[in-house]
Amino acid sequence: MEIELKYAVDDISTAERILEDEYIKSVEESRTDEELKAIYFDTDDYILFRNDIAFRIRKEGQKVVASLKWNGKCSGALHSREELNINLGEGDCPEMPDPGVFSESETGKELMELLKDKTLGGIMKVYVSRKTVRVDTGEGIFEIALDNGKIVAGTGTCPVCEMEIELYSGNQEEMLKLGEKLQQKYDLEPEKRSKYARGLALLGKI
């Protein structure tokens, strides 16, 4: 399961200040900087969306990862969902994905049953520059990610400037405390919509 907090960030300068925050640096384990390109797929009749499933393929630096996400829930800044990731190796995001990569999982089997002979196509793309800091507070290990970029869906675009704090191990309450601390210090607003949801809004689906 993926559990994370999402906050809208006003501008890049605020994101940079968060990355250089004294407390964050005091508990930092590592940090990365990479370009992400993601394509979300569905059928012409949006059968995956109608069954609360998101199918994404994302290029993360050199590697390509296929993801299924389902049973998404949101309460304020807190997002949780079931998630399955498959490393596809190096390369670029395919324009015609193979859903069979998930076939050994129960959810993958459900996916194949839903799709049957339907064809998948890209419904939106997300381009972001991501800077991450892995931190260990002693009560939990979290990844803080600052994303800056855009969502492209249909004829519309939507800017992305946000912070995510993802729980890797430990105490969820500690993650909530960290999120509240950064939210108050940098005057952040909870982001209630995932990038996928914002893309669906551009398409007029929600």
Residue 132 pLDDT: 96
pLDDT at 3 over 90: yes
pLDDT at 5 over 90: yes
Residue 115 pLDDT: 94
% of the chain exceeding 70 in pLDDT:
100
Domains plus CATH for the chain?
2-202 (2.40.320.10)
Of the candidates 153, 167, 186, 157, which has an alpha carbon nearest to the alpha carbon of residue 13? Answer: 186
Residue 125 pLDDT: 97
Range 178-192 average pLDDT: 96
Residue 91 pLDDT: 86
Range 72-86 average pLDDT: 94
Range 157-177 average pLDDT: 95
The CA distances from residue 62 to 34, 102, 127, 171, 186, in Å, are 9, 21, 15, 32, 32
Q: Does the predicted model carry a pTM greater than 0.85?
A: yes
pLDDT at 96 over 90: no
